[in-house]
Chains A and B, each alone.
Chain A
Amino acid sequence: TQLLEQSPQFLSIQEGENLTVYCNSSSVFSSLQWYRQEPGEGPVLLVTVVTGGEVKKLKRLTFQFGDARKDSSLHITAAQPGDTGLYLCAGLTVSRQGNMLTFGGGTRLMVKP
């Protein structure tokens, strides 16, 4: 069974602070996706990282895939209240039956104005 551990589970910070969310596994994934989910809605894809060591930036969000493709991090610079939500990482496993996404437990972020 592929497991993805996310940390921290909860994070409450002030507007303007920086933060990092971690996603770790003992398994290798073909790629890793980050989603954000807001109350009453489904997750929305933010980014996919495919290559070990890859870094992608989305405005104030920086995503990194570990060299061994077992872990990833999401760094938010100067967090804003609009960043509040549940952040989920998901690892993609490829098999003959098809691909399957394994989700981490999520990090619930609250940014206070």
Chain B
Amino acid sequence: KAGVTQTPRYLIKTRGQQVTLSCSPISGHRSVSWYQQTPGQGLQFLFEYFSETQRNKGNFPGRFSGRQFSNSRSEMNVSTLELGDSALYLCASSPRSSIRTLRSYNEQFFGPGTRLTVL
């Protein structure tokens, strides 16, 4: 099975621009989560999508948004880019929605990430 793929792998933008990142989950996985990883803040949860609906959201401003398509592929968008948005953006897929797993877990499979640099 192919793993999670993310495009593009590297991106350079300037302040004020917007950016769209793409994630293709493992075939058959319906849940996609997005994370931001920076040296200072570590790995932080952005949001989770399942069946084209946002299920859970982290503590990020409204400039960060996402969506999921009927084939489970997901995109995240960052508008009005700031220097602090420079980070590695990771996508993770899972076979089940996190809502359906209670005390247990649903293993998440991470993609290689998109390295975004904002100048």
Chain B residue contacts of A43, Cβ below 8 A: 43, 90, 110
B103 touching A102, Cβ below 8 Å: no
Q: How large is the interface on B (under 10, 10 to 19, 20 to 34, 35 or more residues)?
A: 20 to 34
Q: Which residues of chain B come closer than 8 Å to A31, judged between CB atoms? A: 103-105
Given that A42-B111, A43-B43, A98-B98 are contacting pairs, would A48 and B105 also be in contact in the complex, using a CB cutoff of 8 Å? yes
- Cβ–Cβ contact A100 & B112, under 8 A: no
Is chain A's binding surface mostly helix, strand, loop or mixed? strand
How near does chain B come to A65, taking the closest CB pair, in angstroms?
12
Contact check, B45 vs A94: say whether CB atoms are below 8 A apart: no
Residues of A3-32 at the interface with B, using a CB-CB cut-off of 8 Å, are 30-31
CA–CA, A76 and B102, complex, Å:
30
- Nearest chain A CB to B115 CB, angstrom units: 9
Which residues of B pack against A, CB within 8 Å? 4, 33, 35, 42-45, 48, 55-59, 90, 92, 97-99, 101-113
